[in-house]
Structure 1
Amino acid sequence: MDGQKIQSKSKLTRTSSSLHRSSPTLRSSIHSFSSVAEADQVGRIITPLQLDEAKPKPKVKLLRAGSFRFTPGPRRFGSVLVLGTPAIYFYSRRGEMPASENLLVALIFIAIVLFFISKNKGLIILTVRRLTIQKNPQSAKPIQWFIGEEEGAAAAASATETASETKITREGVEFYNNGDYYEGEFYRGRCNGSGVYSYYLASGRYEGDWVEGKYDGYGIENWARGSKYRGQYRQGLRHGFGVYRFYTGDSYAGEWWNGQSHGVGVQSCMDGSCYFGEFKCGAKHGLGCYYFRNGDRYAGEYFGDKIHGFGVYHFANGHCYEGSWHEGCKQGHGMYTFRNGDMRCGEWDSGTLKAPLPPLTDSVLRTVQAARKAAENAIHLARVDEEVNRAVEAASRAATAARVAAVKAVENQMEGKFCDSA
C-alpha cells in the first residue's frame, strides 16, 4: 500500500502526504473506527496517539488485521515461490538435474524466500501473531498505531507507562487469625497510610493513620462498651495529645506518653470531681489542683496518685489547712485555720495534731510558705487545651480519610482487584 511501512514494532508510521491520498484502492483497504471491535476479537487494541489535545487532530482511519494489500513485486515472487517449489522438488526426485544444478536451484530458491520475507515482514509477523492468539488468547497485548515520527511514538509509550503506574491499587483488605481485619492502604505489604482496623466480634475499631503496620499519627479508637479515644499515636500507642472518654463517664484530656497519661492534663469524673495538673505513667504526680464533689479543693503536690508534699487544702465549710502531707494525710508541720479565724499550729501525725506550737514558730512559718508556693504554682500551670483541640480535629480528619480508604478497599475486593505489595 502506498506511503505505508509495516515495522516489527507493531506500529504504523505515516507521512503527511500519505494522509491526503485517496485513491479507490486505498479507500477499499482502509476501514472506519467501527471496525475496531472486530480487531478486538483477535486480541488487538488499536488506539490513536494524541499528540496535542489542544490542537485539532486529523481524521485517521485504522487498518484491521488482514486488510493488507501486496504490491505487484511481492505478489509475483509469491507466485513463483508457490509454483516453483513443487517443480524443484519433482525435478530433483526424478534425477533430471545434476547435483551441481540442484545446489544452484536450492540457492536460488533460498534467495527468493529471503527476498519474499524481507518484503512481507509485517504480514508474516501479523500471521504469526494471529496464530499465537488463537492458541492462547491471554497472550495478546495491546497494539497501538501512531502517526508521526519515532520520537512521538516513544513519548506516547512513556506516557502510557506513567499512566499505568499511577493506577496502582493501594487499598486492600487483610484478615488475621484472631478474627480481626484491616481495610485501607498498604505499602510494601504492610498497613501504611489511612485505614480502618476492626477487632474480633466488633469489640473495637480504629480509624486513622498507619506506619509500618502500627497506629501512628492521628486517629480515633472506639470500644464496644462505649470508651473512645481521639488524638495522637506513635508506634501503636497513645502518644502526644488526645482525649480519652471512658464508658463510665470519666475522661482525660491532655498529654500522653507510651499509652499512658503523662504530662499535663485534665481528669474529669462522673461524680463531678475534677483534677487539673501533672501526671506520670497514668497517675497524678507533681503539681495539681483537685476539685472534690463535696466542694473541697486542694492545690499543691502529688506523688503516686496521692496528696503528698506541700499544699493547701480548702474545706467546703470554710476551714483551711496549709502545710505538709504524706499519702493523703496531714503529716509534719502545718497550720489549720478555722472559719472564725482560730488557728491550730504544730506538728501533725496521720492527720492528728501531736505537738502544738505557736503560729509564729519558724518551722511552722517555713512549712506554710512552702505549701502556699506549691499551691500557687499548681494553680498557674500552663494549660494544654489548645494543643488537645488541635489534636482532636486532626484525628477527626484522619478518621474520615481512613473510612474513605476502607470503602475503596472493599470495592477493590468486590471487583477482584488486589493491592500492589511493592
Structure 2
Amino acid sequence: MEGQKSQSKLTRTTSSLLRSPTIRSSIQSISSIDEESPSSEEKKPHKPHKPYKPISENGISNRLFPILVIVSLPILFLLYLREEIPIWGTFFLAPIFFGIAKKCFLIKNPIALSYPLLKNLWVERNRKLGLGFKKANSVQWFIGNGVSLKREEGLEIIRERVEFYSNGDFYEGEFHKGKCNGGGVYNYFVNGRYEGDWIYGKYDGYGVESWARGSRYRGQYRQGMRHGFGAYRFYTGDGYAGEWCNGQSHGVGNQTCSDGSCYVGEFKCGVKHGLGCYHFRNGDRYTGEYFGDKIHGFGLYHFAHGHCYEGSWHEGRKQGFGMYTFRNGESRCGEWDCGVLKNPHPPLTDGVVRAVQSARKAAENAIHIPRVDEQVNRAVMAANRAATAARVAAIKAVQNRMGGKFCYTDV
C-alpha cells in the first residue's frame, strides 16, 4: 500500500517552467513563453563604401598609349621638316604612322581617357608621400550618459529615439546604424516589456523581462536568448534560478513550485537530467539520478513516514535490483518490476549489494553538486542596473521626440 502511494508522487511532472523557453531573435522577430506573438520589421542594410583600388600595371600601359601617340606624332613631323630624317626613310615611317593613326581612330577621345590616368597617378603619388589626405571618420557608438558634439560640423549628436512598429510595439532608447544598440526599453503591445542591454537589434548582456500577468526574468542574455545565469519567476508562483543556455534551463539550477516542492540539481535542455535532489510537498525526498525529467538510474527515496528504498529505477518506478527498508528495520530485497517485488532475494545477493552501493553513491554525488546561488545573485543585480540605465535612455528618447530631435548616429 505504501509502495503504491509513493508511485503517484514519483511520476509527478514539472511545472510549465521547463516547457516554455523564451527565445528572442531581434526586435524584428520576437516571441515569448505564453504571452507574446511574433512580429517583423525589416530594415535595409547599409551599403559599404567601395575601397580605393590602385591602377594595375597593365591598365597603365594600355591607357598610356594615347598619350604616347599624341606626343610622338609632332616630334616625328618636326624631324621630317628639318630633314633630319631622309626622304627614303618616310617609306619606313609610313606603316608606323598608319598604325598609330588607326589606333587613334579606334580609341574614342584619347584626351578624356588620359585625364583620369594622370589624376590617379597624382593621387597615388600623394598617397605615398602622405600629402593631401584626411583621416577617415571612425564609427561613433554612444552608450554612456551625456551628449557630445561633432567637432567638424558643430552639430549635436542625438543617440536616443523612439521607434514604433506596425504590430503596436515600440522601442525607446539608444540606436546605432538603424538598430537598437546600447540601453533601451522595448514595449510589447499589451503583453509586457524588456529593459536592458541591446547589441544590433538583439538582447545581449543583462536585462529584465516582464509580462502583463506578472511573470519576470532577470539575468543574462546572448544573441536574443537567455544565456548564462538568471532567475525566472512565473505568475503562478513557480520559479527557476540557475544556468541557462539558448533560452532553456541548462546546467545547475534550483526549481521551486507553488505547491511547496523543489528540485536542486542538474538540467539539460529544459528538463531535469543528471543528478539532483527533489523534495516533495508531502515530505518525501528523492536523491539520485534523473533522465529526461524522470527518476531513472540509481537513487535513494526516503518516505515521510520513515521507509526507504535504495536501488535501481526506470522512468519513475522501482525496476531492477533494490532494497526496501521499513521503519522498524525490516527489509525486502530482490528484483523489482514496475514497482512490484517479483523475485525476492537475500540481502547479501551480489545484484542487490551492487544496486544499493550504486544508489548510495549517486545520492552522495547529488548532494555535493556545487550551488550557483552566488552567480545568480550577481547576474540579478547586474540585470537591475542594466534595466535602470535602459529606463534613463528611454526617458531621454521621449524628451528628444518631444523636442523634435532626431537620431543621426549612422557615421
TM-score when normalising by structure 2: 0.63
Question: Closer, same or farther in 2 for the Cα pair 1:223/1:386, shift >3 Å?
Answer: same
Aligned partner of 2:279 in structure 1 is 291
Q: CA deviation at 1:166?
A: 8.4
Correspondences of 1:337-356 after superposition (within 5 Å):
337-356=325-344
Deviation readout 1:364-413 (Å, 9 max, x if unpaired): 10010000000000000000000000000000000000000000000001
Correspondence 1:90-169 to 2 at 5 A: 161-162=150-151, 167-169=156-158
- Of 250, 274, 282, 2:262 maps to 274
Matches of 2:239 and 2:251 in 1, distance apart? 15
In 2: Cα distance, 1:332 partner to 1:165 partner = 80
Deviations 1:159-182 (A, max 9, x none): 985286784110001111111110
Who is 2:370 aligned against? Answer: 382
Aligned AA (1:220)? V
- Structure with a larger share of its residues in helix: 1
- In 2, Cα distance between the equivalents of 1:269 and 1:327? 21
Task: State which of 302, 318, 323 in structure 1 corresponds to 2:306.
Answer: 318
Structure-1 residue corresponding to 2:247: 259
How much does 1:420 deviate?
1.3
2:165 corresponds, among 152, 173, 176, to 176
Match of 1:367 in 2: 355
Cα distance in 2 for residues equivalent to 1:335 and 1:391: 43
1:114-138: CA deviation from partner (whole Å, max 9, x where unpaired):
xxxxxxxxxxxxxxxxxxxxxxxxx
Match of 2:181 among 182, 192, 200: 192
Alpha-carbon RMSD: 1.4
Deviations 1:260-299 (A, max 9, x none): 1010000001111000000011100000000000000000
Distance 1:303 1:406, change over 3 A: same
TM-score of the pair, normalised by structure 1? 0.61
The answer (yes or no) to whether the contact 2:209–2:216 under 8 Å persists in 1 is: yes
Residues 296-353 of structure 1, C-alpha deviation per residue, up to 9 Å, x if partnerless?
0000000111100000000000000000101100000000000100010000000000
Deviation for aligned residue 1:421: 4.3
What residue is the counterpart of 1:408 in the other structure?
Answer: 396
> What is the number of residues matched between the two proteins?
263
Equivalent of 1:334 in 322, 330, 341: 322
Structure 1: segments with no counterpart, 5+ residues: 1-158
DSSP-derived class of the 2:151 partner:
helix
State the secondary structure of the residue aligned to 2:213. Answer: coil
Counterpart contact for 2:149–2:155, Cα < 8 Å: no
1:207 aligned onto 2:192: no
Whole-Å Cα distance in 2 between the matches of residues 163 and 205 of structure 1? Answer: 39
Which residue of 1 is the match for residue 212 of structure 2?
Answer: 224
Larger radius of gyration: 1
**In 2: Cα distance, 1:388 partner to 1:175 partner:** 34
Structure 1 equivalent of residue 114 of structure 2:
none
The runs of 4+ residues in structure 1 deviating greater than 4 Å are 163-166
- Does residue 398 (structure 1) correspond to residue 383 (structure 2)? The answer is no
3-state SS of 1:200 partner: coil
Where 2:288 maps in the other structure, the secondary structure is strand
